[in-house]
Structure 1
Amino acid sequence: MSKRLHILLGLAIIFCVTLFFLAVRSYGSSSWQTWQTKYFEAQIAELQGNLTKVQGEEQAAKLKQEIKDWQEKKPTVQEIRLANGSIERCTTCHLGTEEISKSHPSDMGCTVCHGGNALSLDEKTAHEGMYGGGHPGQLEVARLSCGGNSAVGQCHSGNKNEIDNQVDLMTTSLMASKGGELSMSRYMYGLDIPPKVLLKPGETAAKVQAPFDHRVEESKFQQNCLTSCHQAGGNLPGQQAQANGCESCHVLSNSTHTYVGQDVTIPKQKPDYGISHKLTVQIPYTQCNQCHNQGEAKLYTMDFTPRFDLNRVKSSPSPDKESLETRWQNVYSPGLVFTKCEVNLDCVDCHTRKEAMGDGEMYFSEWKTLKIQCQDCHGSTVSQPIEWKITDKSDMAWAEARINPDFPPLKMGDVILKTAKGEELPYVRLENGKWFSYRKTNGEKFSIPQVIGSKCRQDPAKQSSDDCHKCHDVSKDKPSSGGE
């Protein structure tokens, strides 16, 4: 062997040894042991708190043994083995993170949604390349996170069935694009007559450079209207937390937007987090109210006035701990009129999937986007609601019903409701000749009164909510009035 080859071999050995020692040093000096120790301490503190509440020696002895087990634990590298055989070590630090949902089990791994470096035990390198800076639901990265092709298969984009392509459809939603807000505001200012759709799917109104053609109202329109809510980077009205696309609805948050779960790496007092590391389709009105019904927007001055009772609304109780009177107080801003069913139910119980998530078409107004009217559930003086019989498991309603754990399972031959615009509503069922709606948040069953056979004298041609509000109205000022 030549002298030059000996030198090259020696340098290669030195290089490999150096890499090895650097890896060992990084492994030994990383903070993952500290995080695990803090997690152990948190579990011990919780158990010790429970120890003061238990009754009986047997229960106390059991808790004492659990405390001892945690006290004896030593930090160890945690690994998740995915279905394809690859390994992730994220839970080495995030030891207390919650299971996301039944459809997103932990063996899917973390990087499929969050991105990042799955094998690193160093915080900086582990978080490099994370989607949305830790918020993978942001619309700019949703196709990579929520929609991307992964080790677990195709997710919420690029599938054969439309209902499984939520990320693709969301790019056309008014909530994502705010296209209606832009189009109708320009129309009311005389800039576009008739109103026009200025955006393409995937574009957001907040990114339009000159929404008001450089009029004096333009900066206030951008600040007070377009750069908030579901679009990434916007601050929720009256709050410090940012809205982050898909997470705005599907990750429930409290009034302070702080985390209260078991992951000790997340600071409990820092805003911009959900209550826990969980996703849900059971979205209560209190979540919707974090953007909607927050106050009064004045179009001609482009000012936003927060509602005076906002503090009470932000601290409203969970759906299972509130009365109907409480909901009357919390659902809508003072002065607004609504029907009783709009208060008994949650927003998602009336607004359809296509209304909220988009249907592939870009619309210039909320009215154009709506898929449902009062007559779709209640019928009219001349017609019954439209029935739809389930005869095939490929039916879109079948897929939609299965994602909510509180829906009664659909069976072949079940009759559901279909709106006049053709959207199926699997949560509205015909049972023994009567229509019932199941609340999406908890499965509560409501009877749907029908116009035919009642004293209602509606005009079948007038089906807007304002038309029905003329007779069937309640408000905070008169909560007990209005027709049933």
Structure 2
Amino acid sequence: MMRSVGQILQNKRFQDWVVSILGCFFLAISVPALAEHLVEAVPSGMNVEEMELASVGCKDCHLKTDAPTMHENPGVVIGCTHCHGGDASVRAEGLKPDGPEYEKAKAGAHVLPTHPEWWPNSGNPVNSYTNLLKEPAEFVKFVNPGDLRVAAESCGGCHAKIVRAVQKSLMTTSAMLWGGGAYNNNILPYKKYVLGESYGRDGEAQSIVDESEISEERKAKGALPSLTAMPQWEVIAPGDVFRIFERGGEFVRTQFPEIGNPNPFEEPGRPDVLQSNRGPATGARIAVPVLNIHKTRLNDPHLSFLGTNDHPGDYRSSGCTACHAVYANDRSTKHSGPYGQFGHEGKSQSIDPTIPKDEEGHPIKHVFTRAIPTSQCMVCHMHQPNMFVNSYLGYTMWDYESDAPFMWPEKQQYPTHEERITAYRSNPEGAAARGKWKDIDFLKAVSELNSELKNTQFADYHGHGWNFRAVFKKDRKGNLLDADGNQISSTDPEKFKKAVHMSDIHLDKGMHCMDCHFQQDAHGDGHIYGEVAQSVEIRCQDCHGSVKGYATLKTSGPASPKGGTDLSLMRTPFGDARFIWKGSKLYQRSSVTEGMEWEVRQVRDSIDPSHPHYNEASARAKTVQAFRDGDKDPRWGDLKAIDSATDLDALLAHNNDEMSCFACHSSWVTSCAGCHLPIEANWKEKSKHYDGKQTRNFATYNPQVVRDQMFQLGKHGPAKNGRIVPIRSSSALILTSTDINRQKIYMQQPPTAASGHSSQAFAPHFPHTVRTKETKHCVDCHISRDNDNNAIMAQLFLYGTNFVNFMGAYTYVGTGEDGVEAVRVTEIDEPQAVIGSYLHRYSYPDYFKEHVEKNHLELQESHLHHGAGGVTNTIQHRGEYLYTTAGEGGFR
């Protein structure tokens, strides 16, 4: 029986076959994550004498410490070497610090690294990535007992369930990127993902298996049975349809191109560019997106690795300690709470005399805490594949143009290869090599420029070495607006103080991430998921109630347990009840700032005309009823009908089963429509995941079209029962490759998804930009009475309005009888500024001056392809092909 490709891809036997074939190429034998290297955990019931015995020698040098057990709870009884390992019997009392006897004692007490060159001082090393995997578990435990390779033995004695859950959570496996990248780039045909990142105690890649029995209900909500490691990129066939991966010429004599030795039987004057004279997955006929996943920072090092510890916003440890030991990353008290006072350079404030205070890469104190600020979460979540939670703080990626004179050198930069490599290893965007912000001292002080800036304001954190600009309330013409909607003059020196900074209302109230995402959301529920929404247990109505009544304080999200988690039983790190009713008002207490609390407004109060919190706009939006026959205007405000309704979803137009709260309450949505990943075959670089080996090909990645004014709606997947939610572009790669002959073998090409469609994928998204006044209004989603919002409607439904106006390096012009002309309109290097543009003026001042003064604003490079068979009438550019209509010559 013949079956379609779709039927074959959905066939269980075929899927099993594909996975088994891929298994041949795994970096390590796939084994269950928790089934190997069974090491005895630190016991939880030891006495004070045992604790002292395991710490006695340590105290000879570490005379003072912030918390003797690193736990603030005095009831915790545990010694230094119980967690860190090492030898507490070695004594250094009375020895002169830094003297030979002292150093000998220190070497005997400490666990030493196999590669001391990777650990030049006591702080977390810069850009360590897979180096951590190449050190023995004993050293990793000494440096960080919370690392996931050893957490089962150091933390697991008391927190075994949590450790097991974290090892399977998305913050460890990163399955949403591995799986999304594999599907959207035609590597694997599965939307139920099978790839994830995890490492065993020995540092080898491993599979993750859910040993528990997964209920049918949990399966329906996205729970996966297992994940396995990403295969090596060298052995995966290209999923792209780029011409360079075709068979090519007929006279290939070697596997790789011969530099400067062209084949006389092939095209004259050019060396052979065929990627391999064998089949796919040999030579350079490989899956470039998989190479990108291995080698770029598309996925910042997750919990299995240390942070890169090289910029404000990049300081953290690994595993449990990545969250529970707070580092100085951001001076903003809104973002960091009480930790903001300690700066943003990752320096220690410990009372321990052995810890340098001028050295970066240290936690603020040697203390575990549950009071975790948003700035700690942002170390990972500042990037598109990692949820891009910058929007919660009211920031998005800088566009290279806003206040460009402050950010680009006055003289054009011509970086050498060495300067480029140095810049790219610190900051993966190609533009950094030409900008001022490649200088770490300049980068650290960027936010101090805010008082001088004309067009934007910058954040104080710089994950990846990036700059983030503030988003302000504006009208559709781009004018700044104040809280009342009044226009603010662009020349007003106080304009940024008067304009509404579009941070999330929860942030404005004083809330940090952990005030909404409690223990299970942070650690996972013990199951394996491939999608972020599937692993979240909280929903808006759990705290804010609904039109029917007040909040029950029971979680009801996709990952909530049966009956929900009872939020009323939770306590803050300071011992206070997290939620408390005061009469009919619900209050929440801060989990980061002791003594802070806020009222949690209830939806029911906002629609009740008799209540002080009544809001007419809110009542109209929440109580508007579905149109019935004979209705000329929508009915709304009928609370009796709501209270007596047996089918509330049928009554209301915006009901909870079909609409998400944040479909209306999101004030803006970030959208990244195109990241450019150029690959340089002549440059060697280490993989940032798995084995860390050094091979050919170096890739940067560069945001091309970043928008904060777009708003699009769609339906969520099964995790949210198909509710209407905001949609964003977050998987929109375009690829360029320079081969070993320094030829561009393809340029700015989008890959193809496993479905056969474009890889320019859209995804449901919670923007984290909730506001109460700057919300979406009726005409943002419905045709206006004046019929003047057609373009807004087109964008809403993803039909496009040229808002994402990416311009490639070449623009193609149909020239009638002359054929087709390709005109270069941008720089080839990053940033790919349009020649003669504002960005061109500041990023390439020499080239801009030449364009104006020498070329008199005329573009200089073009390539003419003479028409054949008639006049070239219309053209359309798709990928590597240009389609034309040529009259009698037909469609070409």
Please indicate the TM-score interval, normalised by the length of the shorter structure: 0.5 to 0.7
The structure-2 alpha-carbon separation of the partners of 1:233 and 1:445, relative to structure 1 and needing over 3 Å to count, comes to closer
Deviation at 1:346, TM superposition (A): 0.5
Out of 47, 50, 64, the residue aligned to residue 82 of structure 1 is: 50
Distance 2:661 2:228 in 1: 29
Q: Relative to structure 2, which stretch is displaced further, 460-469 or 254-263?
A: 460-469
Of 361, 365, 371, the match for 1:282: 371
Tell me how far 1:377 sits from its aligned partner. Answer: 1.4
Question: Cα–Cα, structure 1 residues 124 and 443, in superposed 2: closer, same or farther, change >3 Å?
Answer: same
Equivalent residue letter for 1:123: K
TM-score (norm 1): 0.61
1:374 paired with 2:371, answer no
2:84 counterpart (111, 114, 119): 114
Instruction: Please give the alpha-carbon distance, in whole angstroms, between the structure 1 residues aligned to 2:228 and 2:300.
Output: 5
- Residues in 2 aligned to 1:177 and 1:83: alpha-carbon distance in whole angstroms: 35
CA distance in 2, matches of 1:208, 1:465: 36
Alignment of 1:205-224 (within 5 A): 208-210=230-232, 213=236, 214-222=286-294, 223-224=296-297
SS at match of 2:159: coil
Q: 1:444 is matched with which residue: 574, 596, 603?
A: 596
> Retained in 2: the 8 A contact 1:363–1:369?
yes
Deviations 1:208-255 (A, max 9, x none): 344794521323323313351432245258467563121221111112
Residue number in structure 1 paired with 2:193: 196
2:537 corresponds to which letter in structure 1?
K
1:110 to 1:86, Cα distance in 2 relative to 1, 3 A: closer
Q: What SS does the corresponding residue of 1:363 show, helix, strand or coil?
A: coil
Does the 8 Å CA contact 1:373/1:463 hold for their aligned counterparts? no
- Following the alignment from structure 1 to structure 2, what is the Cα–Cα distance between the partners of residues 437 and 183? 37
Q: Secondary structure at the match of 2:587?
A: strand
Alignment of 1:230 onto 2:330? no
- Stretches of structure 2 that go unaligned for 5 or more consecutive residues are 1-47, 92-104, 112-137, 200-206, 209-226, 237-285, 329-343, 384-395, 400-426, 449-456, 462-467, 473-501, 556-563, 608-617, 623-653, 671-706, 710-768, 777-892
* Deviation of 1:402 (Å): 5.0
Alignment partner, residue 94 of structure 1: 62
In the alignment, which residue of structure 2 is the partner of 1:143? 152
- Is the contact made by 1:206 and 1:227 (CA closer than 8 Å) also made in structure 2? no
Within a 5 Å distance, the mapping from 1:336-415 to structure 2 comes to 339-344=504-509, 345-387=511-553, 401=570, 404-408=573-577
2:326 alignment partner in structure 1: 252
Cα 1:431–1:200 shift into 2, 3 Å:
farther
Residue-pair matches, total: 355
Q: Distance in 2 between matches of 1:463 and 1:246?
A: 36
Q: How does 1:156-167 map to 2 (within 5 A)?
A: 156-157=159-160, 165-167=161-163
Deviation at 1:266, TM superposition (A): 2.1
Partner residue in 1 for 2:106 = 123
1:179 alignment partner, one of 149, 161, 175:
175
- 1:482 aligns to 2:647 (yes or no): no
CA contact (8 A) 1:437 1:448 kept: yes
Structure showing the higher helix proportion among its residues: 1
SS of residue matched to 1:143: helix
**CA 1:282–1:470: 2 relative to 1, 3 Å:** closer
CA distance in 1, matches of 2:519, 2:541: 18
8 A contact 1:173–1:355 mirrored in 2: no
* Structure 1 unmatched ranges of 5 or more: 1-79, 148-153, 158-164, 316-326, 390-394, 409-426
How far is 1:97 from its partner?
1.9
1:321-332 matched pairs, under 5 angstroms:
none
User: How much has 1:328 moved relative to structure 2?
Assistant: 11
Matching residue within 417, 426, 432 for 2:583: 432
Secondary structure of the residue aligned to 2:183 is helix
How many Å separate the matches in 2 of 1:400 and 1:330?
36
Summarize deviations over 1:7-63 as a string: whole Å, max 9, x none: xxxxxxxxxxxxxxxxxxxxxxxxxxxxxxxxxxxxxxxxxxxxxxxxxxxxxxxxx
Q: Which amino acid in 2 is paired with 1:208?
A: M
Residue aligning to 2:42? none
1:103 positional shift: 2.4
CA distance in 2, matches of 1:250, 1:238: 20
Contact 2:169 2:523 in 1 (8 A): yes
Structure 1 residue 362: deviation in Å? 0.7
Name the SS of the counterpart of 1:452 in structure 2.
helix
TM-score (norm 2): 0.35
Name which of structure 1's ranges 336-345 and 179-188 shifts more when overlaid on structure 2. 336-345
Q: 1-side partners of 2:326 and 2:301: how far apart?
A: 18
Deviations 1:245-300 (A, max 9, x none): 212211111122222212222222332210111110001112222332366599xx
Partner of 2:606: 454
Corresponding residue for residue 354 of structure 2: 265
Aligned to 1:258, what secondary structure does the other structure show? coil
Q: CA RMSD in A?
A: 4.4
Give the residue type in structure 2 aligned to 1:372. Answer: I
What residue in structure 2 maps to residue 34 of structure 1?
A: none
Bigger Rg over Cα:
2
Give the C-alpha shift of residue 333 in structure 1: 5.9
Does the CA contact (< 8 Å) of 1:172 and 1:361 recur in 2? yes
The residue that corresponds to 1:469 in the other structure is 665
